[in-house]
Structure 1
C-alpha cells in the first residue's frame, strides 16, 4: 500500500526522534557492539536482550522503529509526545492492535560522510520491515532499507555541484538525499509507489526540500528532460523466468528485479542514459553483467556503451565475478529462503538451469561511470578489474579528482606533460622487497591509502620519479636527472615514463600542481 506522508506529522516525528536522542551512535551504545553486528546480519536477539532492562524513550523507539517489535501504546505515547500513536498510524509506520502498537515499517538513523568532515551528518531512513522483523521471507513489493550496495553507491557519488540530478529507482530515497547535498534539485523515480512514499517520507523526516518523486519505469518519467547527473542502484539482480518442477517461480522482488531477462536491464540503462544527460553530465550506477561461454563480461559492457545514441566516455570497474552457483546462493538467501529447505534447493536449481540454458559461466559486479562528452573534455575509455579493498567514504571525491586530472592532462601533449609540476600525495607509500643479502630490491611497490587502495609494482626509474615529485621541479627536469643517475638515455626514459605518469596521476598516485 502506498504511503502518503503528511509534512506536519513528519516534522513532529522528527522533533520527537531528536528529543529522544534517536541517533546511530546512541543506538549502537544502547544495544552494544554485539547487537549492532548481529543486526547487520539480520539477527536481533542480542540487541533485544541488551534493551530488555530499559523502558526509556530511546529504548522504546529502538525496539519499535529500529527492530520492528510491537510496543505498548502507553510507552509509545510517552516516547512520541508530539506525534503520538495516531501520527505513526497516519504515516503508515504502525497499526493498532488493542493496547499494542505494531510496527509496519522501520525508521533507522544512518550516518553519512560528505566531501569533507564539515559535511558529515546523519539521516533517518524509512523502509519496510526487514527479514528479522518479519520472521520470514520478504514480500515481493518489499522496499529495502540501507544495505551494502546503497552505501557503496552513496560513497561513489561525485561531490561536485550539479543543477539537476536524476535518482533512477530511488527505493527508500538514500541516493536522492546524498545527491541533494550537492545538487539544486533531485528527481527521484521508481516503479513502486510504496518506494516513492518511503522516499518522500525520508526526505520530509530530514527536512530535505528539492526532491521530487515520480512514478514510472527507467527513463519514461523524465522523457525529454536533461540532467547534470544520474545516479542509480537499479534492480539489476538476474532472476530466472522459468518455474521449478513443482511449478513455482522465483520471487520477483521489485527492489532487485527489473523484469528483464538476464542482464538486459543494465544494458538498457547503459545504452539509454546518454539521452537524459546534459553535455558533460555524468551517470553513476551499480550493475551485474554476464560472462558467457563465448563472451567476456566487460567486453559485453563495452559493446553496450558503444550502442548509445552518442559516443560516451566510460569508466567501468569490475569488483568481483561470482560463479552461477555462488550467485544463485546469494540471491536465494537474500529473499529469506533458508538453506536446507526444499524451496531453497528448488530455487537454486532454477537459477542454475537458467544460466545453463543461456550459456552463462560467471556474473560480474561493479561500478559504471558514464559521461556525455562536452567541448574541451578528453575521451575516456577504461574497463578494469579492481579487487583491492576500498574505503567506503570519500571515494566519490577520488572519482571526481580522477576525471578532472584526466581532462587537464589529456589536453597536454608529452611536451606539456614534461613541463608539468606534480606532487606525491601523503597517502602514497613505498615498499621494497629484497632477497636476503641482495643490494637492490627485487620488487618495488607503490601503495595507495585512499581511493581503491591500489598497489602497483613499479621499476626503479618510476619509483625514483614518484619519490622526487615534491611540487618543485617539472616532470621533464626530474626525468633527465634520474636518467643521469641510472646512466640511461634521457629521451628513452621520457618515452617510457611519461605515459605511466599520466596513468599514475589519473589513479591518484601523483597530483598535478601546475
Structure 2
C-alpha cells in the first residue's frame, strides 16, 4: 500500500555534502541526463508549471508516476520523499549515479528500503537541495526549499556586475547562488548552521565557487562591512511560534522586519541597492506608514513593492499549510495564530519587497530620502530587476524637472516592452471591438485599460514630439491637465520613458 504522506528516513540525516566540486557537478549532470529537469517532471506528474508537490496529492502523484524507470525512482526518492526497494534502485539507476548519490550522502538504507536524505528541486538551470518536506516537525533548524517568496525576491533584485554582495538569512542558498552569477564575491549568512551546510552543498552542485558562508544572527557576521548589493529573506512572518528558524523570528509582531529594515542601510556602499522581504501590521488609512517610519534618517531612497494584503485568517492559513493533513493540529494552529493577532490588534498584514538605494556621494547622504509605494498586480512575477532600477532612475529625472511646464516640454516615448491588445466579441451577428489594454511584456506585470483619449495619447507618445504637443493632439486643451497627470503616472510605473 502506497504511503499517504512523505516517509522520512528512520533517523534524521545530516545535510548532504560534496565530495568535491567536480563530483557535485557530475552528480547534477547525471541527474539531468536522467530527465531530472522541470519540463520532464511537470509532464510526468501533470503539475503544470508547479513542482510544489504536497502530501494530500501524494497518492495521485505516485499512481501517475509508477516505478518502472530511472526518473520515477529518482522522483520518489528526492521530490516526493517516498522510499524505494534497494533492488529497484540497483536495477533502474545506473551505477555511476548511485555512486555519486551515495558519495554525497543522499541515500540511506533501512531494512531493504532506500530513502533519499534531501529534497532536490530544479529551478530553471539550478538544482537546489533542502530538507525533505515531511521531516520538518520538531526540528527548528529545518531547511525549507525554494518557496514563492524566494522566487519573488529573486525577481525583484536589482543586479549589476562584479558587485560585492550579501545574502542575509541565506537559508538553502538560492539567492547567493543567483548573486554569484554576476557578483565578484558573495557572503551568505544565517544563524542556522544546517542551512549553511545546504547552501555550501548547493553552491558545489551548481558549480559556484565565489560564495562564502558565515554563521551568525542577522548583521553580526558582517558588522562594519559594506556591500554593493544586499538581499534579505529574513523570518519576517508575524507569528506566535518559535517552531522554525526560517519562518519564526521569536520577536513580537513585525519587529523582525523593523530590525532588518533599520539595519540594512548601514551595510550599503554609496549607490548600492538592497531588496528585503518584509511583513508588517498594516494601517488601512496609510498602508505604508510603518515601513516609511523605519526608513527615517536612513540615507536611502526606496520603493515599497507591495505584493499583498492579507487578513489574519489568510496569513494563519498560508503559514500552516503543512498541517493540512492533520486536521486537529491545523485547527489548533489557526486558533493560536488568530488569538495572537487579536492580542496585538492586527486586522491586516502587508507583504512587500522593500527595495533600497543608498544615496551616493554626489547627493546629500544625510537627507531622509524618499519612499514610494507601488501595489503590484496579483499576476505572477517575472524577472524585473532592470524595471525596478528604471523606476529609481525615472524618479530621479522627475525630481530634476522642477515644474509641470518642464515635463510638458520633454519628449516621452512608450517603452519597447509595452504592448497594446484589443479584445473582440462576437455579438449581434458581428464582431465588435472591446476594451484596449496596455501591458508590459517584461519586468513588473503592470497593465492598464485604455479609454479612447488615453489610447490616442499612447499612440502620440513615440518620442517625436513633446508631451505638450502630444496632449494637444490626443486630448485637446480642456483635458490637458488630466492628461499630464496620466502621463506622469505612466512614467512612474514604467510604461513611458523620458528622452
With structure 1 as the length reference, what TM-score do the two structures score? Answer: 0.81
> 1:404–1:6: structure 2 CA closer, same or farther, 3 Å change rule?
farther
Whether contact under 8 Å (1:186, 1:211) holds in the other structure is yes
Paired residues for 1:52-451 under 5 Å? 52=66, 54-55=68-69, 57-77=70-90, 79-85=93-99, 87-111=100-124, 122-131=125-134, 134=135, 137=137, 139-240=139-240, 250=241, 252-291=243-282, 296-306=286-296, 308=297, 310-334=298-322, 336=323, 338=325, 340-341=327-328, 343-375=329-361, 380-386=370-376, 388-414=377-403, 416-425=406-415, 427-429=418-420, 447-450=438-441, 451=443
Structure 2 runs not aligned, ≥5 long: 1-13, 425-433
In the alignment, is the contact (CA less than 8 A) between 1:428 and 1:509 conserved in 2?
Answer: no
Which residue of structure 2 lines up, in the alignment, with residue 10 of structure 1? 24
Cα distance 1:284–1:64, how it changes in 2: closer, same or farther (>3 A)? same
Q: Is the 8 A contact 2:234 2:277 kept in 1?
A: yes
1:303 Cα offset (Å): 0.6
- Checking the alignment, whether the CA contact within 8 Å between 1:35 and 1:46 is kept in structure 2 is no
1:349-375 Cα shifts (integer Å, max 9, x gaps): 222222222221221112211111124
1:470 is the counterpart of 2:462 = yes
How far does residue 480 in structure 1 lie from its aligned partner after superposition?
Answer: 4.5
The alpha-carbon deviation at position 89 of structure 1 amounts to 4.4
Q: Is the 8 A contact 1:389 1:452 kept in 2?
A: no
Instruction: Give the distance between the partners of 2:324 and 2:107, measured in 1 at CA.
Output: 26
What is the rounded CA distance, in whole Å, between the counterparts of 1:496 and 1:291 in structure 2? 31
CA distance in 2, matches of 1:262, 1:39: 31
| 100-109 vs 376-385, which moves further | 376-385
Counterpart residue number, 2:5: none
SS of the counterpart of 2:163? strand
CA contact (8 A) 1:130 1:138 kept: no
Alignment deviations for residues 288-346 of structure 1 (CA, whole Å, 9 cap, x no partner): 10136x9855211111111x5x3221211223222222222322334x264631x3333
Q: TM-score, normalised by structure 2?
A: 0.84
Per-residue CA deviations over 1:40-96 (Å, capped at 9, x if unaligned) read: 6763223321221523x22221222222222233554562533535x5345342322
Contact 2:164–2:184, Cα closer than 8 Å, also in 1: yes
**Quick check: 423-432 or 310-319, which moved more?**
423-432
Q: In structure 1, what is the Cα distance between the partners aligned to 2:85 and 2:286?
A: 57
* Unmatched tracts of structure 1, length 5 or more: 112-121, 241-249, 434-442
The aligned counterpart of 1:25 is 39
* 8 Å Cα contact 2:460-2:474 kept in structure 1: no
CA 18–327 in structure 1, closer or farther in 2 if over 3 Å, else same: closer
Q: CA RMSD in A?
A: 3.2
Structure 1 residues 126, 328: CA separation in 2 closer, same or farther (over 3 Å shift)? same
Cα 1:447–1:69 shift into 2, 3 Å: same
- 1:9 shift after superposition: 3.4
Distance 1:487 1:510 in 2: 21
C-alpha separation between the residues in 1 aligned to 2:361 and 2:469? 32
1:264 and 1:318 map into 2 onto residues whose CA distance is 18
Partners of 1:478 and 1:456 lie apart in 2 by: 19
